[in-house]
Amino acid sequence: MTSSVSAKAVLWSAATLLLGLFIWLGLPATLRVLGLHPAYHGPLHSFAGKRALVITTSHAVLGDSGKATGVFGSEMTAPYYAFLDAGMRVDVASIQGGAIPIEPISFLWLLAAPSDQRYLKDPAFQAKVQHSLPIEKLDISQYDIVFLAGGWGAAYDLGTSAALGQLMTQAWAAGKVLGGVCHGPLGLLLAKDSSGAPLLQGKHVTAVTNRQVAQLGIEITPQHPERELRAAGALFESASAFQDIFANHTVVDGRLVTGQNQNAGIETAQKMMRAAGATPL
96-127 pLDDT, tens digit each: 999 999 999 999 988 999 999 999 999 999 99
CB 261 within 8 A of CB 245: yes
Residue 131, helix vs strand vs coil:
coil
On whether residue 84 sits in a domain, the answer given is yes
pLDDT at 87: 98
Query: Mean of the per-residue pLDDT values for the chain?
Result: 93
pLDDT at 171: 98
On whether residue 39 sits in a domain, the answer given is no
CA 224 to chain centre: 15
On whether residue 30 sits in a domain, the answer given is yes
pLDDT at 18: 44
Strand partners, 177: 145
Residue 157 pLDDT class (50, 70, 90 cuts): very high
* 15 and 65 assigned to the same domain: no
CB 136 within 8 A of CB 163: yes
DSSP 63: T
pLDDT(206) > 60: yes
On whether residue 216 sits in a domain, the answer given is yes
DSSP 195: T
pLDDT at 27: 80
Residue 8, helix vs strand vs coil:
helix
The number of folded domains in the chain is 2
Q: Count the Cβ atoms, other than its own, within 10 Å of residue 45.
A: 23
* 14 and 58 assigned to the same domain: no
Alpha-carbon dihedral angle through residues 279, 176, 122, 22, given to the nearest 10 degrees: -80
pLDDT at 12: 55
* 18 and 140 assigned to the same domain: no
pLDDT(208) > 90: yes
Express as a percent the part of the chain with pLDDT over 90.
86
β-bridge pairing 204-205 and 256-259: unpaired
* 141 and 250 assigned to the same domain: yes
Express as a percent the part of the chain with pLDDT over 70.
91
pLDDT at 29: 84
pLDDT at 177: 98
Residue 33 pLDDT class (50, 70, 90 cuts): confident
* 134 and 224 assigned to the same domain: yes
* 240 and 177 assigned to the same domain: yes
On whether residue 148 sits in a domain, the answer given is yes
Of the listed ranges 62-66, 97-101, 146-150, 239-243, the least confidently predicted one is: 62-66
pLDDT(253) > 60: yes
On whether residue 71 sits in a domain, the answer given is yes
pLDDT(139) > 80: yes
pLDDT at 32: 86
| Residues of the domain holding 26 | 1-34
Burial of 76 (0-12, 13-18, 19+ CB in 10 A): buried
* 30 and 48 assigned to the same domain: no
Question: Average pLDDT of 234-245?
Answer: 97
* 124 and 191 assigned to the same domain: yes
Question: Average pLDDT of 192-213?
Answer: 97
